[in-house]
């Protein structure tokens, strides 16, 4: 709780990953991947309750070993590739409210973004609640080599072309406006806003800026290798 606002953290972790099987429980520096996010949430004094939503008994077992009970697995319809994170969050929120538990803010944490500094969750929560007029806050990292002004596509004629049509001409990336990608370090929204719009992205969301070395989400083995190398280098900040 921060300034009398109750906060629930929801950690979403599907069992089915085609690019990197069982990635959410793969050992990362000796700790299951999801364990990093659970520990980070438990170490944030402002978070009142932590919920792990999963369809996988193995993930549920590991989560309980890290101190978060998972009394029920996700319904089958929320375990499919077509189910969105917003569907999962809505299901968790409804389950909590049916049990008489109500929260002012929802924090969504993705296990595939374990590169959180010790104070990231605390700082982001403070920034949003101190900014009473904002609907939410989302972690963003500045895009560098993948800037939309320089990203290309391959046409049907097998030629390289600008990915976005009608781009203004630039000669250097530094001349373009800064671009940002939303990483899963933290997504946070007022519960009232989520229940009304079923989204974290409204036109009234503020950014939480993360550092360059945090700009990773684990999707495949190469991401995993990079994140593990960064953890070896940055272990003092986590």
Domain-by-domain residue ranges, the chain? 5-141+178-233, 143-176
Distance CA 162, CA 167 (A): 8
**According to DSSP H, which parts of the chain are helical?**
33-42, 57-65, 85-98, 120-130, 191-197, 221-234
The CATH code of the domain at 5-141+178-233 is 3.90.550.10
Distance CA 110, CA 40 (A): 11
Nearest to 138 by CA among 204, 191, 86, 88: 204
The parts of the chain modelled with pLDDT lower than 50 are: none
Residue pair 206/134 in contact (Cβ under 8 Å)? The answer is: yes
Residue pair 121/44 in contact (Cβ under 8 Å)? The answer is: yes
Distance CA 204, CA 229 (A): 36
Give the pLDDT confidence score for residue 151 in this predicted structure.
83
Give the pLDDT confidence score for residue 77 in this predicted structure.
83
Give the pLDDT confidence score for residue 173 in this predicted structure.
56
Give the pLDDT confidence score for residue 223 in this predicted structure.
93
Distance CA 223, CA 75 (A): 29
Give the pLDDT confidence score for residue 211 in this predicted structure.
93
Give the pLDDT confidence score for residue 236 in this predicted structure.
58
């Amino acid at each position: 709780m921060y300034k009398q606002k109750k906060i629930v953290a929801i950690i979403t972790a599907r069992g089915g990953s085609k690019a990197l099987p069982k990635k959410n429980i793969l050992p990362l520096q000796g700790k299951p991947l999801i364990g990093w996010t659970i520990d980070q949430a438990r170490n944030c004094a402002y978070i009142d309750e932590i919920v792990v939503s999963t369809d996988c008994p193995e993930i549920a077992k590991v989560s309980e070993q890290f101190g978060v009970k998972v009394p029920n697995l996700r319904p089958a319809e929320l375990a499919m590739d077509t189910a969105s994170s917003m569907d999962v969050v809505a299901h968790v929120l409804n389950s909590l409210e049916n049990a008489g538990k109500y929260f002012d803010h929802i924090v969504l944490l993705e296990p595939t973004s374990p590169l959180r500094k010790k104070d990231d969750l605390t700082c982001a929560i403070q920034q949003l609640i101190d900014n009473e007029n904002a609907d939410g806050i989302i972690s963003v990292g500045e895009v560098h080599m993948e800037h939309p002004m320089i990203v290309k596509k391959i046409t049907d004629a097998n030629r390289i072309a600008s990915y976005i049509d009608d781009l203004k001409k630039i000669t250097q990336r530094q001349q373009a406006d800064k671009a940002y990608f939303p990483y899963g370090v933290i997504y946070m929204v007022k519960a009232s806003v989520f229940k009304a719009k079923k989204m974290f992205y409204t036109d009234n969301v503020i950014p939480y800026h993360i550092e360059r070395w945090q700009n990773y989400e684990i999707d495949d083995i190469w991401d995993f290798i990079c994140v593990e190398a960064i953890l070896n280098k940055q272990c003092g900040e986590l």
